[in-house]
Amino acid sequence: MFAVVHTGGNQERVEIGDYLRIPHRVGKVGDELTFDKLLLLKDDSGIRSGADKLAGTSVKAIIVRQDNKDLDVRETPLMGKKILIIKRKRRKKYRRKIGFRALFTQVRITEINA
């Protein structure tokens, strides 16, 4: 049994027991998340897709690892790649360099309610 969920602008194929890195969600380690927006579900009865056939289905997950901005608290960050934004205007001596890292949450899929 597997499902395709839509979270954080991405589509992810998940099964029970899978670990998933999603964009940052508010919560603590051990909290439960529910993904209600399913795009496809394959179970014993076959493959189902579409909003009318997937009404009432959901995927439950538990937060395993939460990334926060306290860098000295964790050994290995769960942060994304550094993204640099450079602004420049020619002949005006205007230059700006801004950078940030996206925060992520790691979850483990515990249940698929069909």
pTM of the model: 0.78
pLDDT tens per residue across span 85-105 = 999 999 999 999 999 888 889
Lowest mean pLDDT among 10-24, 45-59, 63-77: 63-77
Strands of 19-23's sheet, edge to edge? 19-23, 104-113, 58-66, 32-35
Place of tokens 């790649």: 81
- Give me the mean pLDDT over the 24-40 stretch: 91
Tell me: pLDDT of 71 over 70.
no
Report domain extents, the chain: 2-69+104-113
